[in-house]
Structure 1
């Protein structure tokens, strides 16, 4: 898991956007990806970068913050980035629950107010990830039985014809009857990525990246040309 939460700020007031960005940069567990004056500007970032938290103004020209949040909720459901609303009035505070907003800050707010809301967001996101790690799993066909393997136990998979060797963090190797294409379809795309014709890796198990190779434990795996663009796009805010 990343040590910092990727965050974007959406506010059309340059002064407010400026001090909110300063607050984000002062907070050790947040990483400021970008700041935008409208939701339309932020769409591209949301589509290409892993965003955990949005600091979102309610009163925006065009599509307002609440409508934008509802659009994200309709599209992503519980997997949407967490939201902290900011506003000059409390008129919409009661609507925040509809999109699982973390908090609602009234302008002007202090760094202490911001930190309290951000810390709440951090705890919520960490708990969600931990719960997901505990509950999510895949069944792999091994000889004549199905073996249950939690996603968070998988380091990487290596294909060999009609079999996949799945390496786990407890040092085991499971030889499962599966093609790489089938395995890729079984694993969640936000947690696993194919980086080579023969390899798929757990993103949160990568220990280091150098010259388009990744290191997981003592294993070094190359990122081949076919997968480099996707790999580069995913990691551009992490590196």
Structure 2
């Protein structure tokens, strides 16, 4: 396997040096390129969109905003993993509009970076083979940031201003809010709104009954309001799946 190619883009040379040290401890063979200006990174990605598999990038540059730079990068490469690092929490929502893998608050620690590569299974190479359908739901709850891949979720429910993510492994992750808070993050994905209180991941369904979707351990209800549209979207999903597997 070829060495992982990583870009570190940060005007703060000390922060960049510390991050490089942490990454090299975890991935000694990684090819690391350090850049101090956001336009340097953007120019490199424009000239060769596939040269990096993972990008660590500060958001608050003196010139272009890091969110804008990521938007431009997504125009030429939709798969490269982008990890933001900054001292401010104010760009958190915007970061995941460009499908960031993670949002790290400075100061960085070895433990934070270790968790990142644990999440990536210490194999960033596979991100080159992923489509953008491997998306994530991101939110903050009780001072903690969560990034949950769509493929890990069976369905999502809500009750009493609490949203519940029912996971593939049987666990449940909670946060305060409403289902409508996550509609933008689920738009265009395999998730289908089938009830005022439920989203179902069609990739995890075993079939559809008259009153709901058959999951591994439960039937997720479909309400009258959503029935016609749910049936239509599910038929389209099955047709596309059949074409894809032929």
Q: Aligning the two structures, in what range does the TM-score lie when normalised by the shorter sequence? A: 0.3 to 0.5
TM-score, normalised to structure 1, is 0.48
Which structure exhibits the higher relative contact order, with contacts defined as CA atoms closer than 8 Å and separated by 6 or more residues?
1
TM-score by length of 2: 0.47
